[in-house]
Structures are given as structure tokens and as C-alpha cells.
């Protein structure tokens, strides 16, 4: 009967009382221990420095509890051989191996600055485009490893390290770690751990849980669990015990990704379910996974570009009260309205705008024409009638005063011509002149018209009251502002 050895660790430093813990200042060959960096199911990792040249590195030492009769020391040291055999920039570099005095093997690898993928996922949701970039780098490392005949067998978020990328901080560089239980397909069985199943239950492929032969498709299944967890923020199978999780991997189908993410791209959902097939032969290869991930990335980019091209109504811009509003004439409103319309739809609005402008001008002309006509008639009478001598009678006094009052404003208003007639050619926006005082009937009777002058019909002597000027009515709502800064009256 085989037992399960999980490589899932807490990642936290161990207690100093544990025999597996290396205290600060201890030595492993020429390397001095500085501090513990992390701990997993197979061993612990320490920050070390070379005592002679000062080179900084990371040191991994296998747990002492694994030193059982069935454990082969060369099994641990095989990791250095595997990594050097692959030689890929997305795989951690190992440059020295050795053994401690108690027989525990160790390996020395490059020290990385960054964080594990599991820590990054726990800190916050990863966007789909970033998840795809990370998975594509993992695929590159696996393609190189499978081409060299090596299967990782322990893919999980803890074994993917994100290195700070100075050239592109938004996309970290991936380093694939922990090749300690990797299997060289062409190697013999003496490097396996007899009677034990190694791996992490949450990421274990069905054939791996049964103790069957592993292949490159075994890594595809574990990579599918990682992708499912990163995209949907949950594992496909979750239970209280490792045995229950392994049983679910063997017999149950994963929940459809669309149940968790309704807008998941169909191509991504199909890929995740294909990677989690129970039979290895039904899963895609790593190269196929990379190709389909790139297609999903292109689909997401097209979605983002399409959503950015959607025309949205402009949001209301609060008006600065310190800036006065600019009054817009009817002609400008008509020009603004017709400019924003298609050519085939402009003519009805242009005709309506022209009618509106024409009616407004006719209305203003009628108002301006009435007032100057009345004032010109009154002034013309006063101008052609000689000013009589001041009479001692009351009627004469009133007539002289009325004529004098009517004649005085003629000299003060520039719009009256030298012949005391009203100039009607006024600007459209200039205020119409006010009505002058009219001559009373007694004054009309005392004036002697010219023999050749045409006698006009009697006019009403009652002065027409001036029409009060109405102030413009404030709009019921504020004008909407177009993106180009103009006011659109049709909103």
C-alpha cells in the first residue's frame, strides 16, 4: 500500500526547536545561513552568502523526516541535473549541490527578488490578461522541460515565483521552482520514492493519484487546475480532507467556469475543461495550451477595444459660476444643430431654422417700425410749424411749451437727420427710440401749414403707451455641453 506525501507547505519559517531548522550563522559547505525564506513539504529554503566571495544565493535542504530507508539521496540531487539539462530562462538556475553532516542533501540556487504566485493571488485578484501572460511563461518552461524528457509532477501556485521586472513592472518574469520530485522519463526507477505518492492533493492528476505512470499530460492537468484557480479565484475541487479531494479528481467533473464567471470567453471555458479531462489522451499538449491561450488573449483585447469604441452620452460638466454664460443667437444655434447632423438629414432642420430666424427678424422690424413712425410724424409737425410768439393766453402758453418740448429732443438724438425726420436704418440689436411727447390740439390749431403741403388726416392725440421690454425667460434646464465645448440645444 502506498502512502501520500504532500509537498504543500505553509511557507512559514519553522520553529528553532525543530531539527530541520538551520539557525542563523550555521554553515552548509562554504555557505553561511542568514535567515529562512520558506518551507514546503519536501524541504526548507534559506538565504545564504558565500563565505569567501560574498555571493548571495538560496539554499534548499530536504527535511530530516524524509531520510527513511526508502529515500534515495540522489533523488534530491537529481533536481540540479534536471534543471541544468533543461536550461531555460523561466526555470530557476542551480549551480551547486552538497550534503550536510547529518546526511541531508542540499542544493544552491539563484536568489530571486519577488513573491510566489500564491502570495500574489492571495493579495488580490489577478486580471485575465496578466494571468495569461504568467501561464504562457509557465508553458514555455514546460515545453523546454518536456522536450528534454522531464516532467515536473508538482505544479502549483507555490512553485511559480514572480520576479520583479524592471523593464516592464506590470508583467513580472516567471521562474518555475521545486524540481525536486521531477521525473526524468528516460531514467530508471531507482530515483523514485518507493511506496510513496508525492505531490499536492489539490493539483494532483488522476493518474498520479492512482500511482500510474506520469507523462507530460500530467503537467497539463496540474496546469489546468492552476489556470482554473487563477481565472475563477477558486479551486475546481475542494473538500475537508486530502482523500476526499483526490476522490473528486478521480470521479467528479469540475464545475463549468461559466457558473462562476458568466462572461468567460467560450474558448477559455473549453480550454479549462479540456485540460481537466480525466484521461491523459483527451487533454491538449502544452503547445496547444499556449496557442489557445494566445487566442483567448486576442479575444480579450478585441473586447476591450470594442467597448472603448462604444459612443456614450457625455456626462454633465458642472459650470463654473465665475465664468459668465455666452448668449448664442438663433443663427448660431441653427448652425450648431445642422453641423452635428448627417447630410441627408440636415435640410428639414435648416428650413426650420431659417423660418425661425425670418419670423424673429420680421417681429423685431414690426416693433421697431411702429415706434419711429409715430415719433417722426410728431417731430415733422413741430419742425414745419413756426414756433409762435409766447402768448399771454393759456392756450398759447400750452402750445408753445408743447412744441418746444417736442423740438428739444431732436437736437439730442443722433438718429434724427437734419430735416428732423427719423432714420429707420437702425441696427437690429439697437433699442428702439422712445416716443416723444405729442402736440396738444390747441398747438395744432395755432400752427399755419404751408399752402402747398398736403394736409394729413387728423391723428389721434392720445399718446401710444410704450410697450414694456420683456426680459428673456430663463431656460427650464441648463444647456447641455457637447464634447467640443459648444452648447447643444437639442438635448
What are 55-90's pLDDT values in tens digits?
999 999 988 887 776 666 676 677 777 788 888 999
Phi/psi-derived region of residue 366, left when phi > 0, alpha when psi is between -120 and 50, beta in every other case: alpha
What's this model's pTM, rounded to 2 decimal places? 0.59
Largest CA distance in the chain: 150
Statement: residue 491 has pLDDT above 50: no
Could you give the residue ranges of the DSSP H alpha helices within 173-285?
A: 206-209, 216-232, 242-251, 257-260, 266-275
**Strand-by-strand arrangement of the 94-99 sheet:** 27-28, 31-39, 43-50, 56-62, 105-109, 94-99
Closest CA to 224 of 278, 173, 262: 278
- Segment 302-325 mean pLDDT: 69
Who wins on pLDDT, 316 or 473? 316
| Active-site hit among 113, 122, 140, 154 | 154
154 part of the active site? yes
- Segment 126-147 mean pLDDT: 96
* Residues present in the chain in total: 491
Statement: residue 370 has pLDDT above 90: no
User: Is the Cβ–Cβ distance between 246 and 237 less than 8 Å?
Assistant: no
311 — pLDDT class (breaks 50, 70, 90): low
128 — pLDDT class (breaks 50, 70, 90): very high
Q: How far apart are CA 3 and CA 364, in angstroms?
A: 102
C-alpha triplet 137, 140, 142: angle, nearest 5°: 110
* pLDDT at residue number 130: 96
What are 225-264's pLDDT values in tens digits?
999 999 999 999 999 999 999 999 999 999 999 999 999 9
- Cα of first residue to Cα of last residue in the chain, in angstroms, is 79
Amino acid at each position: 500500500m502506498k502512502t501520500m506525501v504532500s509537498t504543500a507547505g505553509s511557507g512559514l519559517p519553522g520553529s528553532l526547536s525543530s531539527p530541520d531548522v538551520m539557525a542563523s550563522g550555521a554553515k552548509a559547505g562554504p555557505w553561511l545561513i542568514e535567515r529562512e525564506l520558506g518551507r514546503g513539504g519536501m524541504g526548507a529554503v534559506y538565504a545564504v552568502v558565500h563565505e569567501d566571495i560574498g555571493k548571495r544565493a538560496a539554499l534548499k535542504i530536504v527535511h530530516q523526516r524524509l531520510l527513511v530507508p526508502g529515500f534515495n539521496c540522489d533523488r534530491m540531487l537529481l533536481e540540479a541535473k534536471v534543471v541544468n539539462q533543461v536550461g531555460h530562462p523561466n526555470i530557476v538556475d542551480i549551480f551547486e549541490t552538497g550534503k550536510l553532516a547529518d546526511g541531508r542533501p542540499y542544493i544552491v540556487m539563484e536568489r530571486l527578488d519577488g513573491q510566489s504566485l500564491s502570495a500574489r493571488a492571495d493579495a488580490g485578484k489577478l486580471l485575465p490578461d496578466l494571468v495569461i501572460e504568467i501561464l504562457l511563461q509557465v508553458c514555455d518552461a514546460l515545453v523546454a522541460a518536456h522536450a528534454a524528457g522531464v516532467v515536473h509532477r508538482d505544479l502549483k501556485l507555490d512553485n511559480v515565483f514572480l520576479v520583479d521586472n524592471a523593464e516592464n513592472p506590470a508583467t513580472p518574469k516567471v521562474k518555475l521552482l521545486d524540481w525536486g520530485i521531477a521525473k526524468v522519463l528516460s531514467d530508471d526507477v531507482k530515483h523514485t520514492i518507493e511506496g510513496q505518492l508525492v505531490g499536492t492533493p489539490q493539483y494532483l492528476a488522476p493518474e498520479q493519484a492512482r500511482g500510474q505512470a506520469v507523462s507530460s499530460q500530467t503537467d497539463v492537468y496540474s496546469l489546468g487546475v492552476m489556470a482554473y484557480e487563477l481565472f475563477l479565484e477558486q479551486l475546481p475541487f475542494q473538500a475537508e480532507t486530502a482523500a476526499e479531494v483526490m476522490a473528486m479528481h478521480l470521479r467528479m467533473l469540475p464545475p463549468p467556469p461559466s457558473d462562476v464567471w458568466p462572461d468567460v470567453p467560450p474558448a477559455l471555458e473549453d480550454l479549462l475543461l479540456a485540460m481537466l479531462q480525466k484521461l491523459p489522451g483527451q487533454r491538449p499538449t502544452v503547445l496547444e495550451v499556449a496557442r489557445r491561450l494566445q487566442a483567448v488573449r486576442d479575444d480579450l483585447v478585441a473586447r476591450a477595444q470594442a467597448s472603448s469604441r462604444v459612443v456614450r452620452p457625455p456626462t454633465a460638466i458642472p459650470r463654473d459660476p465665475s465664468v459668465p454664460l455666452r448668449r448664442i443667437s438663433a443663427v448660431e444655434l441653427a448652425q450648431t444643430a445642422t453641423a452635428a447632423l448627417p447630410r441627408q438629414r440636415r435640410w428639414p432642420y435648416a428650413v426650420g431654422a431659417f423660418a425661425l430666424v425670418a419670423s424673429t427678424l420680421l417681429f423685431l422690424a414690426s416693433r421697431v417700425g411702429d415706434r419711429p413712425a409715430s415719433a417722426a410724424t410728431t417731430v415733422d409737425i413741430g419742425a414745419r410749424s413756426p414756433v409762435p410768439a409766447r402768448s399771454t393766453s393759456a392756450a398759447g402758453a400750452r402750445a408753445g411749451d408743447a412744441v418746444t418740448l417736442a423740438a428739444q429732443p431732436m437736437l439730442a438724438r443722433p438718429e434724427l437727420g437734419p430735416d428732423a425726420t427719423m432714420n429707420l436704418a437702425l441696427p437690429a440689436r439697437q433699442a428702439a427710440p422712445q416716443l416723444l411727447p405729442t402736440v396738444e390740439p390747441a398747438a395744432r390749431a395755432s400752427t399755419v401749414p404751408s399752402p402747398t403741403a398736403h394736409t394729413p388726416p387728423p391723428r389721434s392725440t392720445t399718446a401710444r403707451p410704450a410697450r414694456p421690454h420683456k426680459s428673456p425667460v430663463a431656460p427650464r434646464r441648463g444647456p447641455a455641453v457637447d464634447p467640443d465645448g459648444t452648447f447643444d440645444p437639442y438635448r
